[in-house]
A and B are shown apart, each in its own frame.
Chain A
Amino acid sequence: MEGAPLGPLFALPPSPHYLWIVGLAFAAVAIVVAGIGLVWGRLPFGWGVPGLVLVSGFAYVIGALVVLEESKRVAFCGSCHETMSPLVASLDEDNGSLASKHWRIGAVSHVDACFQCHGGYGIWGTADAKLAGVEHMLHTVTGRYSFPLVARKFDIASCLGCHAEAAPFRAQEAHHDAELQQALLSGSLGCVGTCHAEAHPAKALVGARAEATGAR
């Protein structure tokens, strides 16, 4: 996934956040206090039950914030091996898909490319993306998903957020058609699969196992 390093001139500045360390510290305190409570049958250091509940609960709130933030990363999406890893791997391939094109020319961030396109636009786009993430987790737990994967909903504002003001986009004659614009905005028509290439190659939508079998 990562190319050869080009040197300090082309290295992106690091943007780490240390929230996870705070969460880990609170979790450690909660574990020590609850561990002693488990052995002794009472809480140490004058801790009351509310103190233990507050510290352990606060650690979980931080954990939830970390998940909300870090789940935007491409590496997080790709960590669901069976479903998502072929999609993430296909980004590097020159396969003509829209995702691959955007990825390879650097039109989307290599840190959170999945989120940039699938997250929708604006604050409600982010909220929708998080709800969709919970749905993905439920599908994974219950096994209620099937291949090939199909995006049931895609917010076209993700495309327009970047392209709508671009000169090449505005110069394109087809984009001036009022009916087409209406169809796109109403969601009855999408950019991909009609005028533009598929978002992802078909072989990446069938899951890791099927892809491996097909590759043999």
Chain B
Amino acid sequence: MTQYILRRLIHAVFIVWGCATLVFVLIRLIPGDPVIQMLGAEYSPEAAAALNRKLGLDQPIYVQYVRWFGSVLRGDLGGSISSGESVVGALKSGLPKTLSLTLLSFLIATVIAVPAGILAALKRNTAVDYAVSVIAFIGVSMPSFWFGIILILLFAVRLGWLPAIGYASLTEDGLWAWFSHLLLPSLAIGAGYAAILMRFIRAGLLEVLGSDYIRTARAKGLAERRVLVRHALRNSLIPVVTIAGIQLALLLSGAVVIEIVFSIRGLGRILVGAIFDKDYPIVQGAILLVAIIFVLANLVVDIIYTFLDPRITYG
């Protein structure tokens, strides 16, 4: 197992290196001179030369690449063109918001999906099962940003129960303020994720419930509840962990767009703002950071998986 974890670690390092390279290449693929685009109306030959020097674009490409990679390793992603602030500083201010949003939406989705999936499997081919399936289909089909607007319309505008926009810090404003500001956006992001998890939990549990060892457990005279919790559920949830990891991208993608809807200045809002400002160092940094978060999250899920399922041998 140690060997497997080590291999996964090496794989993750490789992917992060690849992501950094891809982001480096991406910015250099901008048609025309990127410096002219970045400067826009403020273009002058002197300003262009200064920016070229600042970004190291006057160096040969391999020097640029080595420098870029060295900077990434040191955690230095340069400075923002528009504000002059360091890219790392700008991203650092947005990271807690995006992570809070992603984590809370993961929790909400799990709280919805696990009981709903189990219920659908246990009440197979009944009205409950069909209702869960229909809701799951709708969940995967609606855009999270639209669902976010609907939630604002209902819970903030009509009912006035929760704030419509903004973010409150957990440390400065307290738990309730933090939670109440994040509840609607997290629900908007988590709905699609919950729908996918729900379907996998239902399918996994149905498969396990039909297996021989469940029949044996029942034949032994175990209480149905014990059969379900101790035998069926534990085994059926193992593959769900993998799916949960793979689909984390959905939460991160959702967070990027939902931050615009709810005016939360997280990584997504910073990224989109930087695109409109043609602030490419920020764009580079934000894309790389999100990719790294995703790769690391999946690494953690993979490692958890090895502990959850001791039957699997990793060749």
The yes or no verdict on A and B being binding partners is no
| Residues of A that sit less than 8 Å from B by CB | none
User: What is B's interface to A at a CB cutoff of 8 Å?
Assistant: none
